[in-house]
Amino acid sequence: MSTLTRIATAAAVAAGLTLGLGAVGAQAAGGGEGPGLKRPYWSFEGVFGGYDEQQLRRGWEVYAQVCKSCHVLDYMHYRNLEQIGFTEDEVKEIAASFEVEDGPDEWGEMFMRPATPMDEFAKPYENDAIAKLANGGVVPPNLSVMARARDGGADYIYSLMLGYRDEVPEWVLEHDPNFELPAGKSFNAYFPGYAISMPQQLFEGILEYPDGTEPSAEQMAHDVTAFLQWAAEPELEDRKALGRYVLVFLLVLTALLYAYKREIWKDAH
Amino acid sequence: MSQAVNPGGNADGDSRRDFLLYATATVGAVGTALAVWPFIDSMNPAKDVMALASVEVDLSPVEVGQAITVVWRGKPVFVRHRTEKDIEQARAVDPATLPDPATDDERAIHKPEWLVMIGICTHLGCVPKGQKPSDPKGDYNGWFCVCHGSHYDTAGRIRKGPAPLNLPVPEYAFLDDTTIQIGQEA
Amino acid sequence: MSSTPSPVWSNRTIKWVDRRLPIFSMMHKELIVYPTPRNLNYWWNFGSLAGIALVILILTGIFLAMFYTPHEDMAFASIERIMREVNFGWLIRFIHMNAVSLFFLVVYIHIFRGMYYGSYKAPRELLWGIGVLIYLVMVGTAFLGYVLPWGQMSFWAATVITSLVTAIPVVGNDLAIWLWGGFSVDNDTLKRFFALHYLLPFVIFALVFLHLWALHTTKSNNPTGVEVKKPADTLPFHPYYTMKDAFGLGVALIVLCFFVFFYPNYFNHAINYVQADPMVTPEHIVPEWYFLPFYAILRAVPDKLGGVVLMFLAIAIWFILPLLDTSKTRSGRFRPIFKWFFWLLVADFVLLTYLGAMPAEGIYVTLGMWATGYYFFHFVVILPLLGWFEKPLPVPESISAAVTAGHEKEAAA
């Protein structure tokens, strides 16, 4: 029994250390000399977290009107939009408004046709070379796993969207007096190295939400980040729901096993 | 042998011990059984495969007398826009005399001029000829399987040769006058 | 101990089979009546846990292999397809990813348990050596597997680790080219890594079998380090230890599932969700947490070859642990000074883990050197000397005597 207590204590200390180190790491990643990452409320955080479908549809609106013209969203299909509350017919309509390449046809030619729900999201550029050419030598990254691919996840994306400054702030120059923004780049307080190729995209009122929400920059950043989180982890709701059942089940089973084990060991003591 | 202990317990703790044993064993067995399911289910068709389980086909470019082949669930589906003569031929036969009796209405289930069937010979799985104008169409002006010589008529019914059954008709529906959807809703 | 009589089977089929292949008698002997020291504490749970973690990894791995595509252009996308399109694909992958961490955690505890209770001492030297070998193959398997998702960290881990061989004089460069099947990590590297990653777990499985064979030949050690002398010292494996192990498994599964379902990427590096790019190295390349102590040792030496050699020595030294420990007393429980040094070694190992994750600059480099130095100092100097200088406490005459004494102590308290 005393060993069990000792192992439990060791485990608790180790868990504390692990989580503590994780937090320190996250701080270090986001911090540096600049401001810490913004940490807004996300509906999908925590054991009981889930997505807000209405928000995801607003996020889709931002993605479709702003991000889509430069960024690919690999691995996603128009049919996936049914998961965020679009009806089958709406999805068909959305898909049909995009053209995708198909073929070769019987004459050996590639041709364009309206997309169907089964198609992957249309890509903005034919290949990386053209993408580079159109974006100052940098390929705009795929966004579908972005929320998993950056330290800080959703907080990072949200902060980046709102991290643009017209002028290089004092705290950067204090740290590095020679800092100069290269031509064609923008200053972003959260981007590693601060010089980002993508200009600021979200300005108040650049689009209208179908649900009448006020399109402030913060609102749009929040919505599109939630959308990208969903694009990165479409399984999140299923995963957490199943996880809650599994954990409750395992707690019951383990409690029973402990009781039975004690019962048997009575004889041996 | 180890020290003589009796894991069965004595009368005192018997019922409590039995209860714990059965409860633990039951919960454990249920858990193991449930844990197996995700692995079995992972081998079922994935979501992207299921999404292609139905296809929509635009029939408007298919003239009378022409045929097209579309891929559905990895198999060829024959769609023929039948002529009046094709339909007459098909209806002239007494279904009772056929190896696999079926009336023409049971073959062209929605509209007599449109015949939709899975183009796989019911003998051993070859794809019969007869879709292109230049193809052999067999003795009954329908389809002819070159592998083992099965002849199908203008309703896709087996008439001669080793194949036991008619070419199967998939589940399909007309979404409008010139569009069909083959397969169920995904 | 008298030898166990073979049971008389009443079922005719079992009887028929058992007379031709005594598999049922063997299982009865090794898993049911197997006389196990009655005083094993919970630190003895981690061996069977490691075995189960291996089985979980092999099972989930086989299912992942049904969907994974080992090709430089398709590997990354095939894993995203597993996550998005395959039924429960995300679950199977997340279990596989996190069970590796569980496996290593459990094995580290198992190894340090062996060190504390002197489980490597005669007659268990071979049992211990096979265990170290298992650990080495595990390290190789985990490394190969980490390359398969073909993310940035996968690619650069493959590059950095395979480049270790270039430290070997004369043939180093040719060896690296041979390992890669090219002039850098490329498509053929990925494919051979996949083939080997599928193979090695079964090698581990075979080694585990040998490990258990040796265990059941020399019998389990126990917290007193006193060998089993009479029947009163033991309990049958079933139901005593099967149930104790099952309870431990329950706890381990709770921990595993907590991460799988709620923080599945906790132990993963975010940058590994960016597809491999041979033209751009990520800013911080850090190995998975379970490699960190040895990574810190690699970096502690400012010489390329020296670092590589020292890193492998850090594990290889475990093989000769039975020779380095000169004490006649087996269990650390009765070695008052050893105890302190043991916990110091654990602290040093944890410190190395921490340092491995930190950037190689400033204070971390100095600390890394000291921690590495102490690690070897413990094995090469302290252990051999302790055997001479330390005066061990009196060891109980038998396991059952120790158990009885323990009960009396408890009653008095």
pLDDT, averaged per 10 consecutive residues of chain A (269 residues), comes to 73 70 49 77 95 97 95 95 94 93 86 91 92 91 95 96 93 90 92 93 94 95 98 97 97 97 88
* C 351-410 → A contacts, CB under 8 A: 354, 357, 407
Q: Residues of C with CB below 8 A from A74's CB?
A: 77, 80
Within 8 A of B13 by CB-CB distance, chain C residues are none
The answer, yes or no, to whether the previous bond of C231 is cis (omega within 30 of 0) is no
Check CB contact under 8 Å for A116 and B21: no
Q: Which chain B residues touch A259 with a CB distance below 8 Å?
A: 20, 24
* A70 annotated among ligand-binding-site residues: yes
Nearest-5° angle of CA C369, CA C375, CA C378? 135
User: How close does chain B come to A239, measured CA to CA in Å?
Assistant: 12
Interface of B with C (CB under 8 A): 1-5, 7, 28, 38-39, 41-44, 46-49
Within-domain flag for A240? no
CB contact under 8 A, C250 and A74: no
- Contact status of C273 with chain B (Cβ, < 8 Å): no
Distance CA C151, CA C157 (A): 10
Give residue C159's pLDDT band: very low, low, confident or very high (50, 70, 90).
very high
CB contact under 8 A, B6 and A267: yes
pLDDT score of B10 more than 60 = no
Is residue C26 scored above 60 in pLDDT? yes
The answer to whether the CB atoms of C41 and A3 lie below 8 A apart is: yes
Residue B5: its chain C contacts at CB < 8 A?
235-236
Instruction: Give yes or no for a contact between B7 and B14, defined as CB atoms under 8 angstroms apart.
Output: no
Residue range C155-169: average pLDDT?
93
Average pLDDT over residues C2-12: 73
Interchain CB contact of C7 with B (< 8 Å) = no
- CB contact under 8 Å between B186 and A79, yes or no, is yes
Report yes or no: C257 at the B interface, CB cutoff 8 Å. no
Lowest mean pLDDT among B12-16, C2-6, C40-44: C2-6
Q: Interface partners of A (3+ CB pairs, < 8 Å)?
A: B, C
Q: Are the beta carbons of B13 and A263 separated by less than 8 Å?
A: yes
**Distance (Å) of CA C301 to CA C283, C296, C305, C371:** 21, 9, 9, 12
C239–chain B Cβ distance below 8 A for any pair: yes
Residue A181, in any domain of the structure: yes
- Distance separating alpha carbons of residues C323 and A75, to the nearest angstrom: 56
Q: Which residues of C are known to be catalytic?
A: 216, 220, 244-245, 288
**pLDDT top residue among B136 and A246:** A246
Tell me, yes or no, whether A265 lies in a domain.
Answer: no
> Residue A13: inside a domain, yes or no?
yes
Calculate how close chain B gets to C163, using CA atoms only, in Å: 38
Instruction: Tell me the C-alpha distance between A110 and A117, whole Å.
Output: 20
Per the structure, how many domains does chain A have?
1
Buried b (16+ CB within 10 A) or exposed e, C368-393: bbebbebbeebbeebbeebbeebebe
Using CA atoms, how far residue A202 sits from A62, A63, A70, A207, B21, in Å, is 9, 11, 14, 9, 62
For residues B178 and B68, what is the distance between their CA atoms, to the nearest angstrom? 14
Residues from chain C that touch B4, judged by Cβ atoms under 8 A, are 231
- Please name the member of A7, A21, A148 whose beta carbon is closest to the beta carbon of C265: A148
The structure tokens listed for B165 are: 């059954």
Contact residues, chain B, for A260 at CB < 8 Å: 17, 20-21, 24
What is the predicted pLDDT for the residue at A77?
A: 95
* Interchain CB contact of A240 with C (< 8 Å): yes
* C231 close to B (CB below 8 A): yes
Closest chain B residue to the Cα of A75, Cα to Cα: B48
Would you call B2 and C236 a contact, using CB atoms and an 8 Å cutoff? Answer: yes
Domain that holds residue A7: 3-51+148-230
From CA B100, how far away is CA B107, in angstroms rounded?
12
Q: Does C1 have pLDDT greater than 50?
A: no
End-to-end CA separation in angstroms for chain C: 34
The percentage of residues in chain C with a pLDDT greater than 70, rounded to a whole number, is 98
A198 is in an annotated binding site: yes
Q: How far is C383 from chain B (nearest CA, A)?
A: 36
Res. B158: pLDDT tops 80 = yes
- With H, G, I as helix, E, B as strand and everything else as coil, classify residue A159: helix
Phi, psi of B181 (to 5 degrees): -115, 120
| Beta-carbon contacts below 8 Å between A and C | 90
pLDDT digits (tens, 9 = 90+) for A152-170: 999 999 999 999 999 999 9
Instruction: Kindly indicate the confidence band of residue B1, based on its pLDDT and cuts at 50, 70 and 90.
Output: very low
Identify whether A254 is part of a domain.
no
pLDDT of residue B73: 87
pLDDT of residue C4: 54
pLDDT at B115 over 60: yes
What pLDDT score was predicted for residue A137? 87
User: Residue C398 and residue C396: Cα distance in Å, rounded?
Assistant: 6
Q: Which residues, at least 6 apart from C371, have a Cβ–Cβ distance to it below 8 Å?
A: C296, C300, C348, C351, C352, C355
Domains of chain B: 1-44 (no CATH), 49-183 (2.102.10.10)
- H or E element, residue A165: strand A164-165
Nearest to C371 by CA among C390, C391, C351: C351
State pTM to two decimals: 0.90
User: Which residue of chain C is at minimal alpha-carbon distance from B42?
Assistant: C87
Q: Annotated binding residues of C for heme b, as ranges?
A: 96, 110, 197, 211
CB within 8 Å: B21 and A259: no
Mean pLDDT of chain C: 94
| Closest C-alpha among C227, C242, C218 to residue C51 | C242
Of A217-226, B54-63, C313-322, least confident by mean pLDDT is B54-63
For chain A, the average pLDDT equals 90
Tell me whether residues C66 and B42 touch, CB distance under 8 A. yes
Per residue in C322-337, pLDDT (tens digit) is 999 999 999 999 999 9
Average pLDDT value for residue range C292-301 = 94
Q: What is the pLDDT of residue B52?
A: 82
Q: Which domains does chain C have, with CATH numbers?
A: 42-225+236-283 (1.20.810.10), 286-413 (1.10.287.980)
Q: Which of C86, C90, C219, C253 to mutate to probe the B interface, most B CBs <10 Å?
A: C86
Flag whether A95 is in a domain: no
Phi, psi for residue A128 in degrees, rounded to 5: -65, -35
Which of B81, B110, B123, B148 is an active site residue?
B148
Which of chain A's residues have a Cβ under 8 Å away from the Cβ of B23? 256
More confident residue, B12 or B44: B44
pLDDT the model gives residue C56: 98
pLDDT of residue A94: 95
Question: How does A35-61 read in b/e, with b if 16+ C-beta sit within 10 Å?
Answer: eebbeeebebeeeeeebbeebbbbbbb
CB contact A251 to B (< 8 Å): no
The residue of C87, C90, C230 whose CB has the most chain B CBs within 10 angstroms, and thus the best one to mutate to test that interface, is C87
Q: Please give the structure tokens belonging to residue B32.
A: 């193991």
Contacts of C94 in chain A (CB under 8 A): 239
Reference C115, options C309, C290, C348; nearest CA is C348
Put simply, the answer to whether B3 touches C38 (Cβ < 8 Å) is yes
Give me the mean pLDDT over the C253-263 stretch.
97
In 3D space, the residue among C179, C183, C141, C148 whose CA is nearest the CA of residue C57 turns out to be C141
